[in-house]
Amino acid sequence: MKIYYGWIVVAAGAVMGCVAMGAMFSLAVFLQPMSEATGWSRTGISSAMTLDFLAMGISAFGWGALTDRFGPRFVVLAGAVLLGLGLALASRATGLLEFQIVYGVIVGIAAGAIVAPMMATTTGWFEKNRSLAVSLVSAGMGVAPLTVSPFASWLISAYDWRTAQLSIAIFAWVLLIPTAFLVRRAPAVPGARPGVAVAGDSGITAGRALRSPQFIVLAATYFACCAMHSGPIFHTVSYAMACGIPPIAAVTIYSVEGLAGLGGRIVFGLAGDRFGVKLVLVIGLMIQAVAAGAYFFTRELGEFYGVAIIFGAAYGGVMPLYSVIAREYFPMRIMGTMIGAASLVASLGMALGPALGGWVFDRFGTYGWLYIGSFAVGLGAAAIALAFPPFPSAKRRVLQTA
């Protein structure tokens, strides 16, 4: 039985996303041993992650445009090379500023070359099962904390942080460079003809698409969604410890969220294909908002686990749906640009939550207002999502693929 090549692209995207995001987020594992070995402050080391988010978001827009022009293989191959290079150079850094620039900029740019382009490429391979396919690629990224981080922890315990980081760089090169050659641009839809005018917009340019109501609603919803969940994701472990939960147990709350997110991606992906992606997104955003607000009332470890399962499944499940919605509105020839631009806006929301959460705690001595604010922003995201215009007809989307 011949396997449809789109599923091979999905598998390649899942693997590449797992390694790229896992390598970037493994900084949390390196934080303590790096600080102890170098004397660098934890705040200084952690700031490299903030730079990662910003670099990944900004570069995603450029990488997306290059994907549209030259195809995804060139872009993800460049990302694979840059990822290993950034990690290798960071492992040799002799000063904090050097580390921040190398890890926070090069690694972030590398991740931007893999995440958004692979999501955009996957949408082009599927008409049926599109939500599921994109969700499976996202699930690979979601499993990153459960794979690369433990590997990094074992390397650090066996050697030292520099050797561990260099080893991950080599591992990234060995795994990602061959995988990049499996990635292909989606084939043209049979019967689609370049230059066909459909309702006056089949030849829409990227600039016009970025100013369209469809993209404005997409970007605003994506921003609010990420601003809502990034604060709780980042601060809930600290909040649990403030509630008297032992540190070792508190860390497991984050793991529970991650595991629930994997299941959420599959469930929401299947639901999006069956019931419609816009409806599933709105419902997911509302569940996410209620779960974030529920943390305000949570005090015991069992309660934290219960909320983490719902919250993790919801935020993990809705994230891939934005790429699916973008593909419903815009032709495949500009999909890399559109998803890259949406990722740029979303990254600003992701960077906002942790900073505001820290300010809330410093100002009020409690995280309570963080969760109340996240609840309100989450409801706002769901309200914005209700403004999505109707999708084009199936015939019109096929012609737009040209």
CA dist 42 to 25, 73, 155, 161, 274, Å?
Answer: 15, 37, 20, 15, 46
Using 50, 70 and 90 to split pLDDT, how confident is the model at 262? confident
For the stretch 244-247, contacts whose Cβ atoms lie closer than 8 Å and that sit 24 or more positions apart, written own/partner, are 244/299, 245/301, 245/304
Residues 287-337: tens digit of each pLDDT = 999 999 999 999 999 999 999 999 999 998 999 899 999 988 998 889 989
Query: How many helices and strands in the chain, by DSSP H and E?
Result: 19, 0
**Is residue 193's pLDDT more than 50?**
no
Residue 67 CA to residue 123 CA, distance in Å, equals 13
Residue 133 CA to residue 11 CA, distance in Å, equals 9
25: Cα within 13 Å, side-chain hemisphere: 19
The whole-number pLDDT of residue 189 equals 55
Torsion of CA 73, 75, 80, 83, to 10 degrees: -170
Q: In sequence order, which ranges of 102-246 are alpha helices (DSSP H)?
A: 108-112, 115-125, 130-142, 148-158, 161-180, 206-210, 213-242
Residue 232 CA to residue 222 CA, distance in Å, equals 16
Residues 356-396: tens digit of each pLDDT = 887 888 788 888 999 999 999 999 999 999 999 998 754 44
Residue 327 CA to residue 336 CA, distance in Å, equals 10
SS3 (DSSP) at 143? coil
What tokens does 71 get? 């195809």
Q: Which domains does the chain have, with CATH numbers?
A: 5-180 (1.20.1250.20), 206-400 (1.20.1250.20)
Residues 117-162: tens digit of each pLDDT = 998 899 889 888 888 888 888 888 878 767 887 888 888 888 889 9
The whole-number pLDDT of residue 26 equals 81
Residue 135 CA to residue 142 CA, distance in Å, equals 10
What tokens does 381 get? 């995201």
For the chain, the maximum distance between any two Cα atoms, rounded to a whole number of angstroms, is 64
247-275 helix and 130-142 helix, angle to the nearest 10 degrees: 170
Size of the chain, expressed as the number of residues it contains: 402
Name the pTM for this structure: 0.79
- CB distance 138 to 119 below 8 Å: yes
What tokens does 146 get? 């459960």
**Is residue 11's pLDDT more than 90?**
yes
Residue 106 CA to residue 83 CA, distance in Å, equals 7
Averaged pLDDT for residues 67-92: 94
Query: Burial level of 175, CB count in 10 A (0-12/13-18/19+)?
Result: middle
The whole-number pLDDT of residue 194 equals 37
Lowest mean pLDDT among 59-63, 249-253, 286-290, 390-394: 390-394
More confident residue, 289 or 400: 289
Using 50, 70 and 90 to split pLDDT, how confident is the model at 191? very low
The whole-number pLDDT of residue 399 equals 40
Residue 210 CA to residue 198 CA, distance in Å, equals 19
* Sign of the four-CA dihedral 13, 17, 18, 23: positive
- CB distance 145 to 25 below 8 Å: yes
